[in-house]
Amino acid sequence: MPHDDPPAGAQAHFRALESLYAAAPINRFFDSRLEILAAGVARISFTIDTRHYHAAAAAHGTSYFKMLDDAAFYAANSLVTDRFLLTTQFNLIFTRPLTSGPVVAEGRWISGARRVFIADARLVDADGNEAARGTGTFMRSRIALAGLPGYRG
């Protein structure tokens, strides 16, 4: 999907958020990469493998939630340059099981511009099939982005 090039300051914020994502300790458990494509649009490319499986040989729901929440979160936080957002609520719908292979989480901002933001995300497998979707509510926190390890704004 084409996007107009954002101003240099926005680009710096997007790259700093990508760095913040990469620095998060939880991401040591996932082979994943965040890209902020435009204001309000984020994509996480990741790989599911057998370490993520439940007893029935498919990805456990924690993998679905983590990637959907992160994609929606970063889509929303791409619009906020000073504060870290917090997830206050997230609804998730599972539509098909994921097994080993590449998956993309596509997040996009829906509404909100001051204190509370709504964003959604969907998981798409390597064959282009949607495996899950979710919608989250994110609230501006008191945590300054500039003070977080990994955020290089």
Reported as a pLDDT band with limits 50, 70 and 90, residue 153 is low
43 within some domain? yes
pLDDT at 2 > cutoff 50:
no
DSSP state for residue 40 in the 8-state scheme: T
Average pLDDT, stretch 77-93?
A: 98
Q: Where is pLDDT greater, at 100 or 4?
A: 100
- The domain of 84 spans 8-147
65 within some domain? yes
21 within some domain? yes
2 within some domain? no
66 within some domain? yes
HSE value, Cβ hemisphere, 13 Å, CA-based, for 54: 10
CATH number at residue 112: 3.10.129.10
Tell how far CA 98 is from the center of its chain: 18
Number of domains in the chain: 1
Please list the alpha-helical segments (H only) found in the chain. Answer: 8-23, 61-77
3 within some domain? no
Average pLDDT, stretch 4-33?
A: 90
95 within some domain? yes
104 within some domain? yes
